Each structure stands twice: as C-alpha cells, then as structure tokens.
Amino acid sequence: MQPIRVQTTPFDDQKPGTSGLRKQVRVFQQPHYLENFVQSIFDTQALAGATLVLGGDGRYHNRQAIQTILRMAAANGVARCLVGQGGILSTPATSCVIRRRRTAGGIILSASHNPGGPDGDFGIKFNTANGGPAPEGVTGAIYARSREIDHYLTLDTPDVELDRIHQFTLGGMRVEIIDPVADYAELMAAQFDFEAIRALLAGGFRMAFDAMHAVTGPYARRILEQQLGAPEGTVRNGEPLEDFGGGHPDPNLAHAAELVALTRGPEGLDFAAASDGDGDRNMILGRDIFVTPSDSLAILAANATVFPPWREGIPGVARSMPTSQAVDRVAARLGIACYETPTGWKFFGNLLDAGRIAFCGEESFGTGSSHVREKDGLWAVLAWLNLLAVRRQPVRELVRAHWAEYGRNYYSRHDYEAVDKAAAEALMADLRARLPDLAGTRLAGRVIRLADDFSYTDPIDGSVAERQGIRILFEDGARIVFRLSGTGTVGATLRLYLESLETDPTAQCQDPQQALAELIAAADELAGIRRHTGRERPDVIT
C-alpha cells in the first residue's frame, strides 16, 4: 500500500513543555495539528524498521489520535507497533513495555493531571529507547522540524479494532494489541514483597485507592484487588472515562478531597492513595496525615533496604530543585549521593541510566525508581504498602518518627493559576534583576545565603539547563522558590514553593501554613505577587 503525501504548513505553537506537547483538545482537533507533530517525530527519530509502543490515558481524543498515529507510523515505515488494549497504557507502563521489549521508543497520549473532555486538554510526548521522556536535545529537534514541516505521510485505511487483544497488519506494519497491565504487573511483583503486603491486607488493614476515573483503574484492580487480595471496592473510580467523570485527575488535597475525608478521625482508613490521569503521580495519606511527596521520597530512601531489589542499600537519590531538602538529610546520613535537578522527570534519566541513583522524586506528586524511566504512581503506593507491611506502624507514627530522627522540612506549594502571561513574566524578570543584591540581606527574620536562577549541568552528558527557577536560600535552611509552570495550557501558572527546617525533635508539630507564615508573607513582599498578578490568594495550596 502506497503512503499518501499530505501537504501542510507549520503551526507556531508546537514547542514541547515540561512533559511533551500539551494543549486544549480543540487545538489538537485542528486539521493537520497532531499530524504535523507526529511527522516531526518520525522525521527526526530513527523509527523506520523499528518497534514503537503506543497508548494513552484514555482521555477524550485518545482513540482518534491512536488511529491517526497508527496510519502515519505504517506510512513512515515503522515495522511493528505495540498498542495498549482500548488505547490504554499508563505512562509508567509504557516506559516498562519500551524497556522490557527493547523497543525504539514510544508515543504517550496524555495531558497528565489536566482535565479531559471536549473542553479539556490533550497531549502527546515521545519516549526514547531507555523508556524515559525524550531529553531536551530530542524535543528540540522535534520542535525545530515542526517549524519547517511541509508534508506528512499517512495511509487511506479504515479504523482498526483496538478493544480486542489480537495482531494484524496495517500497510506494511505489524500491529499487536497488548494487555496494558501484564508487563507492568510482573515488574511490580519483582520490586516488592507481595507476600508481606498480602499478609498486611489480610490482617484487617483498611485502605482505599482512588483512580479518579483515569488510567490506573485497571492496573490497581489487577494488582491490589486480584493479586494482593485487597477487598473488592478498594479501588474507587476505577473505570477510565474520557472526561474523568468531570473531575480533575490530579491527586492532591484539593482535587481528591473525598478520599482525604475517608482518612480523617478515629474511624479513618489506615491508608489511602490516589493517582493521576496517566498514572505517574501519587498521593499518600494515612489516618489524619497527608504525606507530602517530598517527605515520601525521604522516607522511602531512609527505608530502602525493606524493598527486595535494594536489600544492600541504594547508590544515591535525586530530587527536583523545588522539592524539599528532606531527602538531602537522609542521603547525608546514609553517606550516599544526592542530586538536585531541574523540574521534569527527564532530568533524572541520565542519572538512572548510569546507576548513580535508585530513587528520585518531585514535589509535584512524582516518586519513582530505576525500575522504569517515568515517575510511577502505583509503584509509590506499593512501596508504602511494603513499608507498612514490614514496619507495622500507623503512617502518622512512622512519619513523625522520621521527623524526630532527621528533622522536619515544613513544606508547601502555592499555585496562582491562569495568571496573565505578561504579568507573570514581568514578576519573574523584576525578581531576576534584583537577585545579585539579595545575598547577605535579611528577610522574614532570616539572612539570605544565596539568591540565584537555578541552572543545572548534567553530570553525565554535560548538557546545561538554565533559568530553571528562582531560589532564595536562607542560612537556616529555609527556602523560597519561584517558578513558572511548564504544563499549563491557559496563561501562566506561578508556583511559589516554601520550605523551612525544624530540627528540634521536641518542637510541637505545626500546620505547615502556620509554620511557613513568615516566609509566605516575605515571598509576597519580595516578588510583589499581589501587585503583579492582581490575585489576593493562591488558587491551590498543597
């Protein structure tokens, strides 16, 4: 079958953000929009004759996009394509399939935690042969190609059947519709002590997992309910829906409020967790406690030897710059390396590939290990279950014991969403201009040790990423960080990250907003958030 050559002209807005190209669905529905980006992938990556993995989080437009990409893949000479049944593959499961089956890469269709449906968002990203998000060099090449594209290749074929596990040929390409869960479930069984978790769940431990009508439902049902014996119904909202049931598939205190309520009070559940649209984020809750993602990373690192692959310890850890420094304290105690990278999972890739780190995480509800090259929501949930199965302690006790031993990094993130873009950029520019004068001055009763715009040199390949967020570091370990989000689709999102350190084990536990009140006020004073944005308060506080 001869490929059809379709003439096209470039769009000027196809620059991938923190995690691929993310736009409103209606942007993707413009003629040629998806095709241009997909052809830019085929034009810059060596995929002819290779095997590709393809799937998405099941959101609105997922199925149509899969049909389009399959035709284009066949027309561009891809030899074989592995597609998740029903078009479903979580982001970490895609990474797992790419790695286990040694494919040349994969295409993931998702806008992660952003809402779905005709008025929601859609997204696409390319993962390379290591299973991880394409590094800057690759996304840069794809973007550059999208600026000069003048045609794409496709086939004139009817839609293929995605809902049945089967194999067929499309043009000259072999298509295999695969079980989206099987490879991933096997990998999980090798990472954790399933026997111990089964015993925990059989002993009256009460838990819930909220899949938020997003992609993790089928994974959580198979692993938690069928393999580990959690009672049916443990997985809530387990049916993936195109619009996520109208919800915001973002596992945080604001968007998973119902789940949080189940953990409150003396009758609260022992444990609850949630994952996001594409299954890479996680939220961990115990009775009357929310474990911040930063603390979760630190606690998992401190207890790494309970996990079967890490009985002998871990080589190192990494966190994104805005993530709290709790894990740094654990690494220092364990005498292992700790890397600080820019926001974006792709920056962990080289460190993981080189075996320098075992665990890594981000404040944005991402936690993971070297088992795949994406953050992994269910991995984090299983890690906590494994830890609790060994420690046999309530979550709250375990977390408090950690704080008593290592100190507590009070932490919070304040998001100002859909702010006028020019205003947000002006705020950052004003602040940047004043950075050189800040070191040594006092703010919020503390002395500023260093003020800079974070830049990172990758220790493996020497690549440099600049302007990754403004850091105000204080002598007592506190920090204020300002950053513009790279995943929003409307205006700009300003993120303000706040952190202070309490090392007195006898100090009263405070509400983080209270503990950070001085820093919160200081951040506004310093950056003029209200003045620049016209906003009196953040939209989301986590």
Could you give the C-alpha distances from 50 to 68, 106, 107, in angstroms and in order? 18, 11, 13
| Positions of E strands within 9-50 | 21-24
Q: Considering only the stretches 1-9, 100-108, 178-186, 337-345, report the one whose residues sit in contact with ligand G16 under the rule CB under 6 A.
A: 337-345
Cβ nearer to ligand G16, comparing 33 with 345: 345
Q: Report in angstroms how near the CB of residue 343 gets to ligand G16 at its nearest.
A: 5
Cβ nearer to ligand G16, comparing 113 with 213: 113
> In sequence order, what DSSP letters do the residues of 209-264 get, joined into one string?
EE-TTSTHHHHHIIIIIIIT-PPTTSEES-S--TTGGGS----STTTTHHHHHHT-
Buried b (16+ CB within 10 A) or exposed e, 467-505: ebbbbbbbeebbbbbbbbbebbbeebbbbbbbbbbbeee
Interaction of residue 248 with ligand G16, rule CB under 6 A: no
Q: Considering only the stretches 177-185, 338-346, 433-441, 450-458, report the one whose residues sit in contact with ligand G16 under the rule CB under 6 A.
A: 338-346
Q: Which residues pair with 408 in a beta bridge?
A: 502
470-474, strands of its sheet edge to edge: 442-443, 446-453, 470-474, 479-484, 492-502, 408-419, 540-541
Interaction of residue 486 with ligand G16, rule CB under 6 A: yes
Taking the chain, what is the end-to-end CA distance rounded to the nearest angstrom? 53
Q: Which residues contact 436 (CB under 8 A, 6 or more apart)?
A: 451
Cβ nearer to ligand G16, comparing 248 with 446: 248
Q: Considering only the stretches 220-228, 463-471, 485-493, 514-522, report the one whose residues sit in contact with ligand G16 under the rule CB under 6 A.
A: 485-493
Cβ nearer to ligand G16, comparing 29 with 485: 485
| Catalytic position from the list 112, 275, 320, 324 | 112
Cβ nearer to ligand G16, comparing 428 with 438: 428
Cβ nearer to ligand G16, comparing 35 with 57: 57
Q: Report in angstroms how near the CB of residue 364 gets to ligand G16 at its nearest.
A: 4
> Quick one: tokens of 291?
């474990």
Is residue 69 within 8 A of residue 38, CB to CB? The reply is: yes
Interaction of residue 315 with ligand G16, rule CB under 6 A: no
Cβ nearer to ligand G16, comparing 201 with 301: 301
d(CA 12, CA 33) in angstroms, rounded, equals: 10
Number of residues counted as binding ligand G16 (CB under 6 A): 17
Handedness of CA 526, 532, 533, 534 (dihedral sign): positive
Instruction: Give the x-and-dash track for 265-294 against ligand G16 (CB under 6 A).
Output: ---------------xx-------------
Q: Considering only the stretches 52-60, 62-70, 305-313, 343-351, report the one whose residues sit in contact with ligand G16 under the rule CB under 6 A.
A: 343-351
* Backbone dihedral angles phi then psi of residue 176, each to the nearest 5 degrees: -120, 120
Please tell me what DSSP assigns to residue 509: P
The verdict on whether 110 is a catalytic residue reads no
Instruction: Give the x-and-dash track for 355-394 against ligand G16 (CB under 6 A).
Output: -------x-x-x----------------------------
Cβ nearer to ligand G16, comparing 217 with 293: 293
d(CA 474, CA 392) in angstroms, rounded, equals: 38
Interaction of residue 495 with ligand G16, rule CB under 6 A: yes
d(CA 535, CA 256) in angstroms, rounded, equals: 24
Angle value at C-alpha 267, between 263 and 272, nearest 5 degrees: 25
Q: Which residues contact 316 (CB under 8 A, 6 or more apart)?
A: 331, 336, 337, 338, 339, 351, 356, 357, 358
d(CA 86, CA 366) in angstroms, rounded, equals: 26
Q: Report in angstroms how near the CB of residue 369 gets to ligand G16 at its nearest.
A: 15
Interaction of residue 35 with ligand G16, rule CB under 6 A: no
Interaction of residue 487 with ligand G16, rule CB under 6 A: yes
Q: Considering only the stretches 202-210, 339-347, 350-358, 399-407, report the one whose residues sit in contact with ligand G16 under the rule CB under 6 A.
A: 339-347
- Which position among 343, 370, 533, 542 is part of the footprint of ligand G16 (CB under 6 A)? 343
Interaction of residue 341 with ligand G16, rule CB under 6 A: no
Interaction of residue 90 with ligand G16, rule CB under 6 A: no
Interaction of residue 19 with ligand G16, rule CB under 6 A: yes
> Quick one: tokens of 541?
């506080």
Contacts to ligand G16 by CB under 6 A:
18-19, 112-113, 280-281, 320, 343-345, 362, 364, 366, 485-487, 495
Catalytic residue numbers read 112
